[in-house]
Structure 1
Amino acid sequence: MEEQDDPVSMTVEDFEGGEAILEDSSGSETDDQLAHFAGLLKIGEETREYDGVKNTFLTGMKGHAKDTQVVAIYKNSASTSPMKARFAAFKAFEQVVSQKNGGQGNANVKYGWYSGSKEDISQIISHGFALCNGQSHGLGVYLSPTSFLLDGLEYSRADENDMRHILLCKVIMGKMEVIPAGSKQRYPRSGEFDSGVDNLEAPRRLVVWTTFMNSHILPDYIISFKAPSSTTLLINRINEIRNLGFVSVSALHLTMVKFLGPARGALISRIYEDFAKRKVNVVQLFHAARRITGDDQLLIEIFKSSTNKPVRRELRRTCAAQAAAELRRR
């Protein structure tokens, strides 16, 4: 499957209709279908459905595809009563959102990636979503469009067999609104909107508010795979961003103070001072910033905002004074 020009344009029909990239897997059940995730069917590797999902996943892995091994693909077969209920709820809300937005398929159903540990994904399959996993553009459940799988993969965790797992979900997006970076929004701004994105033209984050997380998101497939560690993936992503233009540590420090606010900004300033005094190196500075930020997506956003920006002396003094005042209060 070729990568889409519009990263959010892949709809349910791209998988289930058209050229029939994916087919019904009712006949692909195997003896070890429940080896990892109860209630799911393991798709046979000889099927077109397996090839379609695998190719979509590896396309999203981009340059890491050659180092990635797909171990197994599981499909949500709605085989248990709770699964059937969530499937029915998804279809009902799809119809409601479609009618609200004028009918004729205006529920705007997309595919999105959601990563986590094996335990996280098992709990989601068994009980549904329980917590928001992002805060860089409002507080909600974040999924990545199919072409931007790497944006969310930093949240994956290897299990006891060194395997990672990611969900491919159907998502009712409806009418989307732009959520600015740093927003603390928790609900749609008005009844006109159904979901949020970081950018309408080329979204990299699909934001589903927690109110809708178990009615507007339907886990469809689980891909179990082996790949480079999440830390390696994140560092590679940040290096890609840095290659777009020069990022000075000073500019990065100022942007982080601006994004994170006084409390966390003071912590960043403290580690930056240690760096300036050569008490810590750039790798230690990076890991400290990652811990303080607590959100890899937000850290990437900060890197982007720091690219090619000159450091103004008066702004540096202002931020330093604010950080010092916060430290005195602590």
Structure 2
Amino acid sequence: MEEQDDQESMTVEDFGGGEAILEDSAGSETDDQPAHFIGLLKIGEETWEYDGVKRAFLAGMKGNAKDTQVVAIYKNSASTSPMKARFAAFKSFVKLVSQKNGGQGNVNVKYGWYSGSKEEISQIISHGFGRCNGQSHGVGVYLSPTSFLLDRLESSRADENDLRHILLCKVIMGKMEVIPAGSKQRYPSSGEYDSGVDNLEAPRRLVVWTAFMNSHILPVYIISFKAPSSTTLLINRMNEIRNLGFVTVSALHLTMVKFLGPAKGALISRTYDDFVKRKLTGVQLFHTVRQITGDDQLLIGIFKSCTNKRVGRALRKTCAAQAAAELRRR
């Protein structure tokens, strides 16, 4: 009965803006479930719960929402003994982190996206997390905050029915520490910290250490959907940046190194060297750069800065030429 109470109190953020909260309702479930997602309950399309999660997901898809179809949403109902045990473990660690950090307000439970193949997500639901999926800012399990769904989508894989699947999880972050780009850290740097992020003010990567991956992460929903391929999504981003104006790769590289600082700048330089040596294609270069910068808008901002400098130089040259011509006429 205690587990059921916990399930009914779960909430998921309304990504559409504001602080509206959607709460689970035990009455919103149906018994329809796919064979590969045993133990999950399909949410009825006519319910407000389905509508809220769908709106949240599509908001995260941003400009790709119009080409995305939500096919089904499933909820972790803790219907099996292992699932109940993971619910209980999560609840226990919420209390433990709260006590360690001095109060309930310091548990810092967030929501995060985790994507993978149908087979991997099925295994996670049945047996828990079994691997690290990131190492750009330490080695651990990476999830993306609610508004950065597209970061996770690049690692999703379509199944035999051309469906992709993504997990929405509750994550105990506790006290977070910044993990610099390129770090090989695998554990908290001290007992003071519980998790890692790439940026404290606006984290894009939620890093849960391997030792905590099955106690600090609780899968809540699976969204099954059809969407443009990862390559198409990447090309869409490239086209958006190209529309800002032409700039050479070398000029962009130099601007990014200066803009991002030493650690990320070094990663960018190594990536650019691989591109020059033809070890990477242009698409692979862009994909890697996006992973390093961690923010689409940041990358676009850098591109604009680089483009504006190029335009500014051209304008100054034009003005200088006009001034010189005027002097010769005199």
Aligned residue in 1 for 2:48:
48
Matched AA of 2:281: L
Q: Measure, in 2, the Cα distance between the counterparts of 1:240 and 1:152.
A: 19
Q: Measure, in 2, the Cα distance between the counterparts of 1:172 and 1:249.
A: 40
Aligned residue in 2 for 1:126:
126
Of 254, 271, 274, the match for 2:278: 271
Alignment CA distance shift 1:90-1:246 (3 Å): farther
Q: Measure, in 2, the Cα distance between the counterparts of 1:56 and 1:288.
A: 29
From the CA coordinates, give the structure whose radius of gyration is larger.
2
Q: CA deviation at 1:104?
A: 2.3
Percent sequence identity is 70
The 5-angstrom pairing of residues 87-98 of structure 1 reads 87-98=87-98
Matched, 1:298 2:292: yes
Matched, 1:285 2:287: no
Aligned length: 284
Aligned residue in 2 for 1:162:
162
Matched, 1:114 2:109: no
Give per-residue Cα distances to partners, 1:197-238, cap 9 Å, x unaligned: 111111111111111111100000000001111111123335
Q: Which has the higher contact order (CA 8 A, sep 6+)?
A: 1
Matched AA of 1:223: I
Aligned residue in 2 for 1:148:
148
Q: CA deviation at 1:25?
A: 3.3
Q: Which runs of 5+ in 1 are unaligned?
A: 1-10, 273-283, 311-330
| Contact 2:137 2:198 (8 Å CA) reproduced | yes
The 5-angstrom pairing of residues 205-216 of structure 1 reads 205-216=205-216
Give per-residue Cα distances to partners, 1:169-213, cap 9 Å, x unaligned: 000000111112222211111111111111111111111111111
Instruction: Judging by fraction of residues, say which structure has more helix.
Output: 2
Q: Measure, in 2, the Cα distance between the counterparts of 1:244 and 1:116.
A: 32
Aligned residue in 1 for 2:267:
259
Alignment CA distance shift 1:176-1:12 (3 Å): farther
Greater displacement, 241-250 / 100-109: 241-250
| Contact 1:34 1:41 (8 Å CA) reproduced | no
Normalised by the length of structure 1, the TM-score is: 0.76
Normalised by the length of structure 2, the TM-score is: 0.76
Q: Measure, in 2, the Cα distance between the counterparts of 1:168 and 1:233.
A: 20
Matched AA of 1:286: G
Q: CA deviation at 1:250?
A: 1.7
The 5-angstrom pairing of residues 215-234 of structure 1 reads 215-234=215-234
Aligned residue in 1 for 2:187:
187
Alignment CA distance shift 1:65-1:231 (3 Å): same
Alignment CA distance shift 1:107-1:300 (3 Å): closer
Aligned residue in 2 for 1:21:
22
| Contact 1:197 1:203 (8 Å CA) reproduced | yes
What SS does the aligned partner of 2:237 have?
helix
| Contact 2:28 2:47 (8 Å CA) reproduced | no
Q: Which runs of 5+ in 2 are unaligned?
A: 1-8, 258-263, 308-330
